[in-house]
Amino acid sequence: MNKNESLSVFVVGKGGREHALVHALAQSPLVGKLWCANGNPGIAATKLTTGRLVYCPTIEEHGELLATAVRERMDLTIFGGEEHLMAGLGDAFRIHGLNVFGPGYRGANLEGSKMYAQRFAERHGLPFAVGECFVSNMHDAFEYAESLDYRCVVKASGPCLGKGVKVCHNVSEVEEALRLMIVDRKFGTAGQNIVIQELLEGQELSLHILSDGVNWRLLPIAQDHKRLLGDNLGDMTGGMGTYSPHPTITTSDLEKIAAEIMPKFLEGCRRDSIVFQGVLFFGLMVTADGVKILEINVRFGDPEAQAILPRIKTDMVELLLATATGRLAEVPLEVYEDLATVNVVMVSAGYPGNYNKGFQITGIESAEKILGIKVYHAGTAIERGVLVTNGGRVLSVCSCARDLKTAHERAYHAVELIKFSGAYYRRDIGRQVRKATYDGYTPQLAPYRLQHE
Ligand code: AMP
Ligand code: GLY
């Protein structure tokens, strides 16, 4: 790639993940204009190395996104979240000759339909959690759960904002989950079709792999903390914090896992007529019997992206453009192996349920004075010149340091400087890391029981 190129890059989305993407892309000297729709105040304040930020807070509607990309002759469009991909915007943009980081509708269905993902995995021999699909059939679903001793996970097939998964350990939990989805239609049509999987126990990992349709590149691993409360208790959330790398699961372990998954995955895509150009995010469980895939996502995880992207040394524009144009083999992936990240999510009181908005946020500037701290915005807004909360997930405080212990300590030092009414965060993000690294404790690969059992 010509290093003097001045490219127009378009990022669509408004969360912490998109802020982290914009921040990483902004470092690239290849960018002429970095367009962001619809963004957030953190994205709006991004400083670019060479190019100019074009912040478009009001562009949300699909037709308008496409019209903007066509009119401005975007060289690369990156959809941060799955919603636009599931709606087929990847296809719509490609039909207009645009380069897109993210799959078309068929590929996005791997995330949009858990039933499709389960069947895809079975047909193509991926190491997936064993499961069965049921179409509104309470009786058969119940029988299958019984065959698993009711230790299973009941999943609404369609998209439910992360709320359509019920982990069950006994008959009454199974009955409740099935009633909720099939009888009460709590998730509408998304819950009419369900997948029931065996309940797996172990360490959960977020494995991200770039795919240009033919070639693939393994990205740094991250571990999310999905439950609201410390020690993995409480409600399931979109993710309360992440860290990277993992203290005991090595890059070579991960390369072996990826090498088992990816040829089968790509062959499956070929057979199902999917050209997957974007990032695959496999939710993995490291069990006593080996590694199993729990789910396939077709975009970067949030808050995984915040912990992964700072560890990538390769120019992000070059890397994502190569992914979008089938040229990944030409771009070597370089990772800062000696850099560790710990990312703590700050949420509003009440999240993941109801919460209030509009509380003033202070302390970000002081937090960012700490070495290696970057605060990514998610649910924030500016009201009458003041930065306020505007969502359940408010900020991601990401700390980069030479080792996980330092990253962890600085992350929490930074978080303590940031204030807003009702601010909540987990205090144990990466705590296991500290134990593993500094107390001589090795928790990995030995299965541990889920906390609520
Ligand atoms: P999913 O949306 O399929 O990733 O499920 C959300 C969360 O539910 C995962 O991050 C896991 O914590 C849990 N989960 C999903 N499937 C399983 C499974 N088969 N066994 C144990 N936990 C699971
Ligand atoms: N952190 C989980 C997700 O992005 O789906």
Does the beta carbon of 81 sit less than 6 angstroms from any atom of ligand 2?
A: no
Q: How confident is the model over 98-110, as a mean pLDDT? A: 98
Residue 41 CA to residue 181 CA, distance in Å, equals: 37
What is the identity of the amino acid at 247? P
Q: What is the pLDDT of residue 448?
A: 24
Does the beta carbon of 194 sit less than 6 angstroms from any atom of ligand 1?
A: no
Residue with tokens 């079709």: 193
Residue 232 CA to residue 283 CA, distance in Å, equals: 17
Residue with tokens 């299973």: 152
Number of the ligand closest to the Cα of 162 = 1
> If pLDDT is split at 50, 70 and 90, which confidence band does 439 have?
very low
Does the beta carbon of 306 sit less than 6 angstroms from any atom of ligand 2?
A: no
Q: What is the pLDDT of residue 80?
A: 98
Residue 213 CA to residue 69 CA, distance in Å, equals: 23
Q: What is the pLDDT of residue 189?
A: 85
User: Is residue 239 left, alpha or beta, with left meaning phi > 0 and alpha meaning psi from -120 to 50?
Assistant: left
pLDDT at 419 over 70: yes
Does the beta carbon of 283 sit less than 6 angstroms from any atom of ligand 2?
A: no
> If pLDDT is split at 50, 70 and 90, which confidence band does 1 have?
low
Which of 19-28, 91-100, 230-239, 298-307 shows the lowest mean pLDDT across its residues? 230-239
Q: How confident is the model over 233-260, as a mean pLDDT? A: 92
DSSP string, 378-405: SSEEEETTEEEE-SSEEEEEEEEESSHH
Instruction: State the maximum Cα–Cα separation within the chain, in Å, rounded to a whole number.
Output: 63
* Cα 222 to chain centroid, rounded: 10
pLDDT at 162 over 90: no
Residues 109-153 pLDDT 10s: 999 999 999 999 999 999 999 999 999 888 999 999 999 999 999
The tokens describing 16, both together, are 């912490």
* Cα 311 to chain centroid, rounded: 16
Residue 301 CA to residue 174 CA, distance in Å, equals: 28
239 C-alpha to ligand 1 centroid (Å): 12
pLDDT at 333 over 90: yes
The tokens describing 122, both together, are 């079975």
pLDDT at 453 over 50: no
pLDDT at 2 over 90: no
CB 394 within 8 A of CB 380: yes
Angle (nearest 5°) at CA 427 between 424 and 432: 145
Which of 206-220, 379-393, 436-450 shows the lowest mean pLDDT across its residues? 436-450
pTM of the predicted model, to two decimals? 0.94
81 C-alpha to ligand 1 centroid (Å): 19
Angle (nearest 5°) at CA 342 between 336 and 346: 140
Pairing of strands 277-287, 31-38: unpaired
> If pLDDT is split at 50, 70 and 90, which confidence band does 4 have?
low
> If pLDDT is split at 50, 70 and 90, which confidence band does 433 have?
low
How many other CB atoms are there within 10 angstroms of residue 279's CB atom? 24
What is the identity of the amino acid at 56? C
Q: Which atom of ligand 1 is nearest to the CA of 294?
A: 16
Nearest Cα residue to 346 out of 422, 236, 401: 422
Residue 336 CA to residue 320 CA, distance in Å, equals: 18
Nearest C-alpha to atom 3 of ligand 2 is from which residue?
301
pLDDT mean across residues, the chain: 92
| Mutate-to-test residue for ligand 2 from 17, 304, 308, 347, highest number of ligand atoms within 8 A of CB | 304
Residue 331 CA to residue 325 CA, distance in Å, equals: 12
Taken in order 185, 225, 206, 300, the sign of the CA dihedral is positive
Residues 171-215 pLDDT 10s: 999 999 999 998 888 888 887 899 999 999 998 999 999 999 999
pLDDT at 449 over 80: no
Q: What is the pLDDT of residue 161?
A: 74
Nearest Cα residue to 278 out of 261, 296, 259: 296
Residues 344-381 pLDDT 10s: 999 999 999 999 999 999 999 999 999 999 999 999 99
